[in-house]
Each structure stands twice: as structure tokens, then as C-alpha cells.
Structure 1
Amino acid sequence: MKVTVDEDRCRGHGMCLTLCPEVFQMTDDGYAIADPAEVPGGLEESAKDAIANCPEQAILEIS
């Protein structure tokens, strides 16, 4: 599973970081990034929770 954060949609709420800190980080500007983009095994459910709970729907699962 791979994820990315749409930088145009992200408003820096940080919900993704709360739900899956192993994948999501905040930049110095206060916006989320997915690092690593490839979700490590065992963290897929946490990443999906982050996707589902993003207030701006800024997190996308990519193929």
C-alpha cells in the first residue's frame, strides 16, 4: 500500500500524524507528508484510518 498527501488540500490538522505517526509527518510549514510513501507491513489499518479521518480528504492511496 502506498499513500500520498495532496499538498493543495492539506490544512495541517495533524489527524494523520495522530493515527499513524510511523507514516505521516508534519513539515516545518505545518503540513502533512507521507514518509515513507510505502506503508510498512502491519500499518495498513492505521494508514486507512488516517485516510478515512482526514478532515480535508487530502490523503490518497495510490497504486
Structure 2
Amino acid sequence: MKLLLDSTRCQGYGLCQEPAPELVELDEWGYANVIAVVVPAGTEDAARACAESCPNSALRVEG
């Protein structure tokens, strides 16, 4: 499973980090950066919650 970010859609709300701080970090302006593109075992639900939390659908889970 992969967590993918479309950085052109990210508006810096920062909501994605709450459910998955181990997968996503925020830069100094609040924009998301994916730490782990390949989702580690046991964090699949957190990755899905992270993607679902984005109001602009900047994150998606694949695989």
C-alpha cells in the first residue's frame, strides 16, 4: 500500500497529520510531506484516515 500526495491540491490545513503523524509531516507553512510513501504494516488504517481527512483530496491510498 502507498500513501500518495498531490502537492498541488494541498492547502496547508494540516488535518492529515492528526491520524497519521508517523506517515505525514507538515512543513513550516502547514503543507503536508509524506514521510513514508510505502505504508508500513500495521498503519494501513491510519493511512486511510489520513487520506480521508483531507478536505481537498490531496492524499490518496493506492494498493
- Looking at structure 2, the residues matched to 60 and 49 of structure 1 have their Cα atoms a distance apart, in angstroms, of 10
Q: Percent identity among equivalent residues? A: 33
Quote the RMSD (CA, aligned, Å): 1.3
Deviation at 1:33, TM superposition (A): 1.2
Q: CA deviation at 1:51?
A: 1.0
1:2-59 Cα shifts (integer Å, max 9, x gaps): 1121111001111110110000001233210111111111010011011112111100
Which sections of structure 1, spanning at least 5 residues, go unmatched? none
State TM-score, norm by structure 2: 0.87
What amino acid sits opposite 1:17 in the alignment?
A: Q
1:21 aligns with 2:21: yes
The number of equivalent residue pairs is 63
